[in-house]
Amino acid sequence: MAPRYPEAFVHEKPEWTVWNRIADFLYFGLGNLRKHLSIALLDMGGIAILWILTSYVIIRLSTGEIGYTLVPWWAFGLGVAEAAALWESFGRSFGHRVARVELRRVDGGDPALHQRFAYWLLWHVSVLPLVGLLFSPPLHERASGLALRPFTMEGRTPKPWWRTSTGIYVAWLMGVALLAAISVTISWEDLVRLFTRAGTTAKFWRSFFSPDTSIILKTVRALIVTVFMAMTATAFAVMVAVPLSFLAARNLMRGLIGRSIYTVIRVTMSIIRSIEPVVWAIFFLVWVRVELAPFAGMLALFVHSVSDLTKLYAERLESIDPGLIEAITATGANRLQVLRYAVIPQIVNPYISFTLYRWDINIRMATVVGVVGGGGIGQALFFYLKGNLWTQAGTVMLFIIALVWAIDYLSARLRAKLA
Amino acid sequence: MAEPYLVVEHLTKVYERGHVVALKDVSFEVQKGEFLVIIGLSGSGKSTLLRCINRLIEPTKGRIFIDGVEITRLSPRQMRRFRRKIGMIFQHFNLIKRATVMTNVLTGRLGYNPTWKTLLGLFPRSDRELALRNLERVGLLEKAYVRADELSGGQQQRVGIARALMQQPELLLADEPVSALDPATSHSVMQYIEQMNREDGVTVLASLHFLSLARRYGTRIIALKDGELVFDGAPEEIDDRKFKEIYGEEAEEVEIR
Amino acid sequence: MTIYSTFKTDPARLRRRLLALLLDWMSWGYVAYGVMYFLNDYWWRIPLERFYTTLTLPPWGWPAAVLGTLAMAILCELTGYSLGERALKLEVKEERPLTKEEFLMGRAAGKPFWRTQWGVMAVLLLALTVALGWHIVKIDLEALFRPSRRAREMLGEIFPPDFRYFLVPDPAFELRGVPYSILNLMVITVFMALLATVLGAAVALPLSFFGARNIMGFSPVGWLVYGVVRGFFNVFRSIETMLWAVVFAIWIRWGSPLAGIMALTIHTIAALGKLYSEQVEGIDPGPVEAVVAAGGSRLEVIRYAVLPQVVPSFWAFTLYRWDINVRMSTVIALVGGGGIGDMLFYYKNEGEWALLGAVVATIVAVVWAMDYLSGRLRERIV
């Protein structure tokens, strides 16, 4: 069966070359592959997670050890694949629900049991080795007379969630996940301490009302260092992130080269962003000399800010109004002029607003980065904590709270003005 | 008959490997000085057709000649130079909202000025004078230094017209210029376009939603339905039957004044 | 030059004028601080102490600085369009029609900013900030581009990371006598984030209705409850998770995952509560009117008119928070909160760079996956 072309293309068939046929095969075949594979992977992944969590809870509660499967790994793999096949053939699976499709007969009716059975059997030779998916429609669908069709509620009565397989699945998953989480992170002694030892923090709170005045000047100086760390980090990050954001915006980077630059930048940035500034600070404290603590902290904030700002900026660029670009292009303007008159006016305010937001975050982060030795007020806090100097630590915390609150307020006010 | 100003031959545009067909083999000719109105339902390909003519959208197949030049063969660079002669106004005005009216109007001269100067926002004195003259023409002289987003819809569209006038165009493409406006403002905007057509001899291609507006302003009408040309003729020729054919059986003509 | 000869007594305007003066005063104060910093830094003190000498002044210095900056601020206010006036948009327009030339060349739109007083001041402040930042943060480009020998060692070892202890527990690393593998600790970390998010959302959900103006009504009790709940959200939100972790680590036990969970939960309640209640305040009042008109009670209004409108964004915020919590939980061990961070900082202290690399790589993979997952789900919901 030929793919379903719109009318226009059926008329133009004679003009089509072999290359067009190959390109067409790839386009529709890869589309199929992507659709079926993502559904299958979602189902298998979902079942695997459920299995692992359930085993985790059983092992944890019965032996107190940590383990992930009750059976050998090969049995686990086979079981997951088989369960996914059954779920997809005899019900509306999690993957189907995510893709908003369901299994129907080609003529639109409800699938008969023998058809579902055939679908299930053929699933193993079509989906598992992937070859069947390159055909359009895929082999197992063709042979069983079933197809994945967009799901509609038309003519159905909605079922309550606990009677759908996905509903049961999600509820079970949540249940075991919470059970596993509680069993592994919370111990009885800790809970008892939580409810009986609140008094240990009293010395802390007391210092909030009677701060140690002898360290105020020192604390203010450390605070200034923290503020400047955040400010310089943000400023330098903006200088790097603004040009990068243009290279990381999908709508501006077209073509093969453009797309590869886009992908490389986006992936790098998301990796950098996944590492907390604290970890970056550890790295930079080794990189530059330890005496340059604020500089190392600043570099940590800088690296994290660059990746975060690039993402925020690029997303903003991706959502600019294409109408203005059209209008300026239509006047005969070249690329640079379009950039200057159609793109930049749309992004200036959001960029400033994002920068302020990031500055706000950087102030918070700068206090945290200090704790690993990144300079500023965080370092002072850690120093007092290590020395069990609770009053002084409480005083420093009081200052941190005041600073963060003030900056938060300021940046929110300024951003409200910009919007 | 004289050599036609604009010739569109077998224009076809498909998106996504044939999943969406926007234009199907559309051919027509336009004489210099005509006011051609394109009508049709939303999604019938009106916008695509207009954008193919200044190649904001690349046609899949077919040829377009303007003034004897086959613009579908021009290189991107040549096309940019050619676009200076083609003004365009838009349904949603597409103005730089945060900039002044003056800046918006001056962008019409971008194609005529060296890049480095325009990047710094420097436009020659003659351009600024022209901008003020054009603003006076659309009745917005005193708003020259007001931010564009502070204007009403009708005023914004008039700024769009002034921007198109700055290009001193031979051809004006108007993509649903009044759809976002109320009826009273619509007429005032249409009259400015008509004035360009009559006084400056600009050939106008306008897509319109309402047949009554098309009848009132157009010297000729073409109709698109699902990307196909279904009508080409004088405004009077559209009777009830033709109307139903273009807009579908349930349509009812609405008078707008 | 504009001289203010008349002083309007309009109170709102007076307040703004005072605010503008305060802003100018503050910016001159900042300039004075910068000048003092550099004077201290270069002439008066030996370099090692520079950090702690920024505010050293002779006895007469303080009053001199305060009065001098005030004088400068007043002078700026009187002689033109100062920065404070610009910020508060207190412009005094010249009362004369523009000449044709001015209109044509765009004088009406104003002078270029670098020729105005506020513009010069802004540029000055910016330059001062950069210069001060450079010194206070001790920026040293040489150190950045010529790393130490230790750094080169670290780079040599960290690639490739050593995944030896990914599945097998590292016998050298023990928490309360039990050795852990990277995988086991990572799972615990993710569970910490999960519990904190679920607990936080469960508490924030009912609280958020008490922190919504439109639900609480305008009775005195309503005002009181609203004020208390909103105040709680604001105060607790501005205290960083890390600080909460310190408190709970002292309270419960240093390194207990429960301390981390409690810290994350508290911050989650406050942050989510604020977002939730803002969302509740932003609902379309139409359905509420409809349910009230049909005779619904306040609970029924919430169930049938408010909840359906806010549930999607509640999910989106919760997923967003989950994402943040996963990130935070990886490093909360630094202040005694437990989780994979314990291992991270252990390897860092031991200088086991290859093993540290494996831990960081695992964190990156998990955080990245959670980020992607929550991003996709949020796209789906909104």
Please calculate the CA angle C9-C15-C18 and round it to the nearest 5 degrees.
100
**A11 band by pLDDT with thresholds 50, 70 and 90:** very low
CB B166 within 8 A of CB B134: yes
Domain limits, chain C? 11-139, 174-381
Complex ipTM over 0.85: yes
Q: Is the dihedral of CA A393, A395, A400, A405 positive or negative?
A: positive
What topology is assigned to B1-85+170-257 in CATH?
Answer: Rossmann fold (3.40.50)
Q: What is the CATH number of domain C174-381?
A: 1.10.3720.10
* pLDDT tops 50 at residue B62: yes
Separation between Cα atoms, residue C266 and residue C253, nearest integer Å: 17
Report the pLDDT value the prediction gives residue A162, as an integer from 0 to 100.
80
Report the pLDDT value the prediction gives residue A347, as an integer from 0 to 100.
92
> What chain C residue is nearest to A373 in terms of C-alpha separation?
C334
Domain limits, chain A? 7-165, 205-418
Mean pLDDT computed over A95-115: 84
DSSP 8-state secondary structure symbol assigned to residue B207: E
- Express each pLDDT in A272-298 by its tens digit: 998 889 889 988 888 887 777 889 999
Separation between Cα atoms, residue C44 and residue C114, nearest integer Å: 35
* pLDDT tops 90 at residue B206: yes
- Express each pLDDT in A29-85 by its tens digit: 777 788 888 889 999 999 999 999 999 899 888 887 788 878 888 899 999 999 999
Longest alpha-carbon distance in chain C: 86
Neighbours of B9 (CB within 10 A): 16
Helix pair C182-210, A165-185: axis angle to 10 deg: 110
CA-based Rg of chain A, rounded to a whole angstrom? 29
Percent of chain C with pLDDT over 70: 88
- Express each pLDDT in C78-125 by its tens digit: 887 788 888 877 766 555 666 777 777 765 556 667 777 888 888 999
Q: Is the dihedral of CA C202, C206, C207, C208 positive or negative?
A: positive
CB A126 within 8 A of CB A86: no
Q: A36-40, C45-49, C295-299, C320-324: which has the highest mean pLDDT?
A: C320-324
| Residue whose entry in the numeric block shows the structure tokens 């630590």 | A393
> What chain A residue is nearest to C329 in terms of C-alpha separation?
A276
Mean pLDDT computed over C61-85: 84
Mean pLDDT computed over A107-116: 84
In chain B, residues under CATH classification 3.40.50.300 are 1-85+170-257
Chain B residues near residue A340 by CB distance under 8 angstroms: 118-119
**Type of residue numbered B210:** F
Structural tokens at position A319: 């959502």
Of A323, A331, A337, the CB nearest to B115: A337
Percent of chain C with pLDDT over 90: 24
Cα torsion at C266, C268, C270, C274 (round to 10°)? -170
- Report in angstroms the alpha-carbon separations of A213 from A166, A222, A376, A395: 60, 15, 19, 9
Structural tokens at position B234: 């004088």
Interface of B with C in 112-131 (CB under 8 A): 125, 128-129
Q: Do A228 and C247 touch (CB under 8 A)?
A: no
Which site among B102, B141, B147 would you substitute to test the C interface, given the most C Cβ atoms closer than 10 Å to its Cβ? Answer: B102
Chain A residues near residue B167 by CB distance under 8 angstroms: 331-332
- Express each pLDDT in C253-306 by its tens digit: 888 899 999 999 999 999 999 999 999 888 888 888 898 898 888 888 888 888
- For residue A187, the SS3 value is coil
Percent of chain A with pLDDT over 70: 95
* pLDDT tops 70 at residue A398: yes
Q: Do B111 and A6 touch (CB under 8 A)?
A: no
Report the pLDDT value the prediction gives residue C2, as an integer from 0 to 100.
43
Higher pLDDT, B48 or A254: B48
Chain A residues near residue C256 by CB distance under 8 angstroms: 187, 190, 193
CB B9 within 8 A of CB B66: no
Structural tokens at position C362: 């695992």
Separation between Cα atoms, residue A358 and residue C150, nearest integer Å: 32
Percent of chain A with pLDDT over 90: 29
Flag the least confident range among A91-100, A139-148, A237-246.
Answer: A139-148
Of A276, A292, A368, the CB nearest to C330: A276
Report the pLDDT value the prediction gives residue A14, as an integer from 0 to 100.
38
**Type of residue numbered B229:** L
Chain B closest-CA separation from residue A16 CA (Å) = 12
**Type of residue numbered C207:** L
Q: Which pairing describes strands B171-175 and B203-207: parallel, antiparallel, or unpaired?
A: parallel
- Report in angstroms the alpha-carbon separations of C358 from A99, A117, C165: 35, 46, 9
DSSP run (H or E) holding A171: helix A165-185
Structural tokens at position C367: 């955080």
DSSP string, A293-323: HHHHHHHHHHHHHHHHHHHHHHHHHHTS-HH
* Sheet of strand B203-207, all strands in order from the earlier edge strand to the far edge: B86-89, B171-175, B203-207, B35-39, B220-225, B228-233
Of A9, A324, A327, the CB nearest to B88: A327
Question: CB-based contacts of A378: which residues, under 8 Å, 6+ apart?
Answer: A226, A297, A366, A367, A368, A369, A370, A371, A372
Cα torsion at B203, B207, B211, B217 (round to 10°)? -20
CB A238 within 8 A of CB A331: no
Report the pLDDT value the prediction gives residue C212, as an integer from 0 to 100.
87
Closest CA to B8 of B243, B205, B214: B205
Separation between Cα atoms, residue C44 and residue C233, nearest integer Å: 47
- Express each pLDDT in B96-118 by its tens digit: 988 889 999 999 999 899 988 88
Report the pLDDT value the prediction gives residue C110, as an integer from 0 to 100.
61
Separation between Cα atoms, residue C303 and residue A141, nearest integer Å: 44
DSSP run (H or E) holding A150: strand A146-150
Of C52, C250, C338, the CB nearest to A201: C250
Q: Is the dihedral of CA C20, C22, C28, C33 positive or negative?
A: negative
**Type of residue numbered B121:** G
- Report in angstroms the alpha-carbon separations of A381 from A201, B197, C50: 16, 75, 20
Mean pLDDT computed over A231-244: 94
Q: Strand pairing partners for B36?
A: B205, B220
Mean pLDDT computed over C339-345: 89
- For residue C174, the SS3 value is strand
- Express each pLDDT in C2-21 by its tens digit: 444 444 456 777 888 888 89
Structural tokens at position A281: 């600070």
Separation between Cα atoms, residue A387 and residue C257, nearest integer Å: 23
Structural tokens at position B89: 């106004």
Structural tokens at position C45: 């003190």
Please calculate the CA angle C161-C166-C167 and round it to the nearest 5 degrees.
155
Q: Is the dihedral of CA C195, C196, C197, C198 positive or negative?
A: positive
First and final CA of chain B: distance in angstroms?
34
| Residue whose entry in the numeric block shows the structure tokens 């916008």 | B47
* pLDDT tops 90 at residue A302: yes
Q: Residue length, chain A? A: 419
Q: Which pairing describes strands B220-225 and C174-175: parallel, antiparallel, or unpaired?
A: unpaired
Report the pLDDT value the prediction gives residue A230, as an integer from 0 to 100.
92
Q: Do B110 and A333 touch (CB under 8 A)?
A: yes
Structural tokens at position B111: 């194609």
Separation between Cα atoms, residue A236 and residue B45, nearest integer Å: 48
Mean pLDDT computed over A299-305: 94
Please calculate the CA angle B175-B176-B177 and round it to the nearest 5 degrees.
90
DSSP 8-state secondary structure symbol assigned to residue C333: G
Chain C closest-CA separation from residue A213 CA (Å) = 16
* pLDDT tops 80 at residue B15: no
> What chain B residue is nearest to A12 in terms of C-alpha separation?
B18
Mean pLDDT computed over C130-154: 83
- For residue C117, the SS3 value is helix
Neighbours of B55 (CB within 10 A): 20
Residue C114 exposed, middle or buried by CB count within 10 Å (0-12, 13-18, 19+):
exposed
Flag the least confident range among A24-28, A225-229, A384-388, C182-186.
Answer: A24-28
DSSP string, chain B: -PPPSEEEEEEEEEEGGGTEEEEEEEEEEE-TT-EEEEE--TTSSHHHHHHHHTTSS--SEEEEEETTEEGGGS-HHHHHHHHTTEEEE-TT----TTSBHHHHHHGGGGGGS-HHHHHTT---HHHHHHHHHHHHHTT-GGGTTSBGGGS-HHHHHHHHHHHHHHT--SEEEEESTTTTS-HHHHHHHHHHHHHHHHHS--EEEEE-S-HHHHHHH-SEEEEEETTEEEEEE-GGG--HHHHHHHH-TT-------
Number of H helices, E strands in chain B: 9, 10
Of A289, A375, A405, the CB nearest to C148: A289
Please calculate the CA angle B170-B176-B182 and round it to the nearest 5 degrees.
125
**Type of residue numbered B125:** R
Chain A residues near residue B166 by CB distance under 8 angstroms: 331
Separation between Cα atoms, residue A45 and residue A80, nearest integer Å: 8
Separation between Cα atoms, residue C37 and residue B60, nearest integer Å: 67
Closest CA to A229 of A309, A300, A306, A282: A300
| Residue whose entry in the numeric block shows the structure tokens 């075991």 | A176
| Residue whose entry in the numeric block shows the structure tokens 């605010």 | C19
Residue B158 exposed, middle or buried by CB count within 10 Å (0-12, 13-18, 19+):
buried
Question: CB-based contacts of B110: which residues, under 8 Å, 6+ apart?
Answer: A328, A331, A332, A333, A337, A341, B118
Of B90, B92, B110, the CB nearest to A341: B110
Q: Do A331 and B107 touch (CB under 8 A)?
A: yes
Chain C closest-CA separation from residue A377 CA (Å) = 12
Q: Say whether domain A205-418 belongs to CATH 1.10.3720.10.
A: yes
Neighbours of A402 (CB within 10 A): 12
Chain C closest-CA separation from residue A271 CA (Å) = 6
Report the pLDDT value the prediction gives residue A9, as an integer from 0 to 100.
37
Chain A residues near residue B21 by CB distance under 8 angstroms: 6-9
- Express each pLDDT in A166-218 by its tens digit: 889 999 999 999 998 998 888 888 888 888 888 887 877 787 778 888 888 88
Separation between Cα atoms, residue B194 and residue B187, nearest integer Å: 10
Interface of A with C in 176-205 (CB under 8 A): 177-178, 180-182, 184-187, 189-191, 193-194, 197-198, 200-201, 204
Tell how far CA A143 is from the center of its chain.
Answer: 39
Phi, then psi, of A111 in degrees rounded to 5: -70, 140
Report the pLDDT value the prediction gives residue B158, as an integer from 0 to 100.
92
